[in-house]
A and B are shown apart, each in its own frame.
Chain A
């Protein structure tokens, strides 16, 4: 179902062709990083810390080096020194630990051998001596007055007054309306304050990290890998190795999911260093256990929000105190939380303080709208409480306070055209909104916001001799973006999308392109494709004018044809194929590029409605119906927009109900498998009704807003509000597992089915 406002009629944009890379993916032929093998290849294995916090006193690799099949062993000694203050210090010492290890699973050495078994045996024979240090495992421990300080150099950024001693707080963010908060809350008829806690969760991509690196004798290396941004792999690897970018070529393999977790690197510099040392290609593939222990969790949090509202539902004041753990290194969780917590609503008096805190767990990586699902959990459940207390419908309360075009965001900029109200209305008008509920069922409503980003993108359009086109971009296709690029190019050039081959080019085949993150690929890289195509159309008109022997100003581009508009005589229109066929005689190959820094990524809003059924005697929660609206601006390929929404819902429901990192008292992860880290399976979910709302983004030629992230923002509070509706229990601690739900129901005096 799609809600549209009047928009240009497009021939291809908005259609649902089969994706260009689909055939390879349904036949098993698509090459993911672990599917690649090179002649003479060695297998690399990482040596990892068993301790959450320890000083490395010695590493003895001699025994490992002497073992059968072993061709290279590396430690941090094989990389240039980095010092705190280096631009990518954290990334560097996370990829391979220097003097200290900061979490269980922290890489500190690597081995390459002829077989994986030999490499594993040798990795086990690397002798590491540690001085084990007390581990800091929770936010409270990190902030305790006598807490062990992880990083002696960590002086809190943003502290006022400036920090004088090192601490575990990496950063403090403060956003404020600059108004008198006491006066703001004094305007309120109702003030409510609530606290929430959440635990780290993993992105859970099905493909473990993998790469193959082949370093030649000339000191140049080629890396095949699975990442969300191969230019980032290049620069990060170069930084770690102290090399120039030009020595590294990164060829993107198909990527088996990332969700933000593949926006940073782990293996590639190790593989390159091993390959350089051994003089052979080296393949490295993580196990699932390694993925869980050493990559990407999203932050855990402690959140406190206070809201003031007037009796008519008007929000007047909001105070937020947000603490995010980013694992062992500085991270942006708190900053991003601060940027999202109050952004959806008009709150004239606001004060937001956010702390980023380091603890001895794996370094956090981005996860789909990083930080926002947690601020939404707090804000959107508290809004429900405010609505109930005031006797106002939860939908009405949101409609009343929702931000609209021209209103200032808490970040200080005025919103351009946005579709929050439209998303609310789409859900309000959906049959689900008023459908009856069964016994022990409850319904929850929640909204979500993500700002989306632009960044750098490049595209090249090459027209082929037969009139078909190749569109090369630098954005790894993580969920159907090739099809979107082809559709936009088809619309511009006027040729069938199936006559366009969308390609993800390697770092030497296309201009610099930032990571596929921030929901930017279809937005920003799409803009680069459009720019390249528009340049191409200018060129095509010129070539056609030559062929026709007329002035270029008398040639228009209409429906994929050069059409003569002058009055001299009749000229037959020329198709792309006609012009391509004569390209040699009109000026040579037809190629055009677009490269840009994209601005104006339109914010994305989403509104979700969730029905749950709770077993009041066991606390088991089942999601029985789900409807999600989201503003896509313009849906280039609606099926993949729906897919992004549906996928975000599934991840959010998992986060709400069952996903969490569990550590023992020493900081060792206890559930590093898909058996005990419980992502939703097919039988856990109902169909997810995705409503695409289209409020075009004025900054994009087709009105695109990124859609990749916003969909994960509302599910946690939607589920929480539904559980409340079903049980009368507010659960402010994630995940809302059967244990916590039953505890809450029991504490509440038993079941309270509605």
Chain B
């Protein structure tokens, strides 16, 4: 069966890949494009470890079919830092010890960035509900929420 050719932008760079019609965007990013920052924790949209942004929308890439990416602009965790300069969220996660095993971290960072892009000064409750689609089993969320608060402050300062 012939594969689908997809042309899109990934983290600001033009990209193309071949995929199957029913392949998920998560699998295509990981297996065809070679970007393994997005993780599969559940494959059903319940854990958020595969979070990406496509055309400005935060998504679970496990629930997107890869051909849908045609003509879109995609951001993944790999695109968050600018050269050696980490995004303030990345910096605050590091400084605030907001990760333990680290497997949920890429999804949290992508989702937190989408949250702050939409709402630069969120309350603790808004952060908690805004990140409710991302499961972390290590941290109890305390340090993650604090890191997002710190990053929001840094971004607005």
Co-assembled chains A and B? yes
Known contacts A23-B94, A28-B37, A206 near B104 by CB under 8 Å: yes
Known contacts A19-B94, A256-B102, A29 near B142 by CB under 8 Å: no
Known contacts A206-B104, A650-B140, A683-B128, A288 near B41 by CB under 8 Å: yes
Contact A646 B103 (CB under 8 A): no
Contact A25 B102 (CB under 8 A): yes
Interface positions of B from 108 to 150, Cβ below 8 Å from A: 109, 124-125, 127-129, 131-146
CB of B4 closer than 8 Å to a CB of A? no
Instruction: Provide the residues of chain A in CB contact with B49, threshold 8 Å.
Output: 206
CB of A30 closer than 8 Å to a CB of B? yes
CB of A260 closer than 8 Å to a CB of B? no
Contact A256 B36 (CB under 8 A): no
Interface positions of A from 203 to 259, Cβ below 8 Å from B: 203-208, 254-259
Instruction: Provide the residues of chain A in CB contact with B103, threshold 8 Å.
Output: 32, 205-207, 254, 256-257
Contact A18 B95 (CB under 8 A): yes
Instruction: Provide the residues of chain B in CB contact with A204, threshold 8 Å.
Output: 137
Instruction: Provide the residues of chain B in CB contact with A203, threshold 8 Å.
Output: 137
Contact B139 A646 (CB under 8 A): yes
CB nearest to B96 among chain A residues = A639
Instruction: Provide the residues of chain A in CB contact with B135, threshold 8 Å.
Output: 206, 674, 679, 681
Interface size grouping (class) on chain B = 35 or more
Of the residues A27, A206, A650, contact of B78 by C-beta under 8 Å: A27
Contact A18 B129 (CB under 8 A): no
Contact A205 B94 (CB under 8 A): no
Instruction: Provide the residues of chain B in CB contact with A687, threshold 8 Å.
Output: 124, 142, 145-146
Contact A288 B44 (CB under 8 A): yes
Instruction: Provide the residues of chain A in CB contact with B36, threshold 8 Å.
Output: 28, 31, 34-35
Instruction: Provide the residues of chain B in CB contact with A685, threshold 8 Å.
Output: 128, 140-142
Contact A28 B78 (CB under 8 A): yes
CB of B106 closer than 8 Å to a CB of A? yes
Instruction: Provide the residues of chain A in CB contact with B109, threshold 8 Å.
Output: 26
Measured in the bound complex, the distance between the Cα atoms of B86 and A26 in whole Å is 9
Contact B44 A674 (CB under 8 A): yes
Size of interface on A: residues with Cβ below 8 Å to B: 59
Contact A682 B90 (CB under 8 A): no
Contact A643 B97 (CB under 8 A): yes
Contact A646 B37 (CB under 8 A): no
CB distance from A19 to the nearest CB of B (A): 7
Of the residues A22, A32, A478, contact of B39 by C-beta under 8 Å: A32
Known contacts A643-B138, A682-B131, A16 near B97 by CB under 8 Å: yes
CB nearest to A640 among chain B residues = B97
CB distance from B45 to the nearest CB of A (A): 8
Contact B102 A682 (CB under 8 A): no
CB distance from B11 to the nearest CB of A (A): 10
Contact A682 B127 (CB under 8 A): yes
Of the residues A206, A257, A288, A683, contact of B125 by C-beta under 8 Å: A683
Known contacts A28-B77, A254-B102, A288 near B42 by CB under 8 Å: yes
CB of A698 closer than 8 Å to a CB of B? no
Q: Which of A26, A32, A259, A683 has the most CB of B within 10 A?
A: A26
Contact B140 A27 (CB under 8 A): no
Interface positions of B from 42 to 62, Cβ below 8 Å from A: 42-44, 46-47, 49
29 intermolecular pairs with C-beta atoms under 8 Å apart: A25-B102, A26-B94, A27-B78, A27-B90, A28-B35, A29-B78, A34-B39, A35-B30, A204-B137, A205-B103, A206-B101, A207-B103, A256-B41, A285-B40, A288-B42, A288-B47, A479-B138, A637-B97, A640-B100, A649-B140, A650-B141, A674-B46, A674-B47, A681-B133, A682-B136, A682-B145, A685-B140, A685-B142, A687-B146
Name 12 extra pairs, CB < 8 A, besides A646-B142, A681-B133. Answer: A26-B77, A205-B101, A206-B135, A258-B101, A478-B101, A639-B96, A649-B140, A674-B46, A675-B44, A681-B132, A683-B129, A685-B142
4 smallest beta-carbon distances between A and B, as pairs: A28-B37, A256-B103, A25-B102, A650-B140
Binding site for A on B (CB under 8 A): 30-31, 35-44, 46-47, 49, 76-78, 80-81, 86, 90, 93-97, 99-106, 109, 124-125, 127-129, 131-146
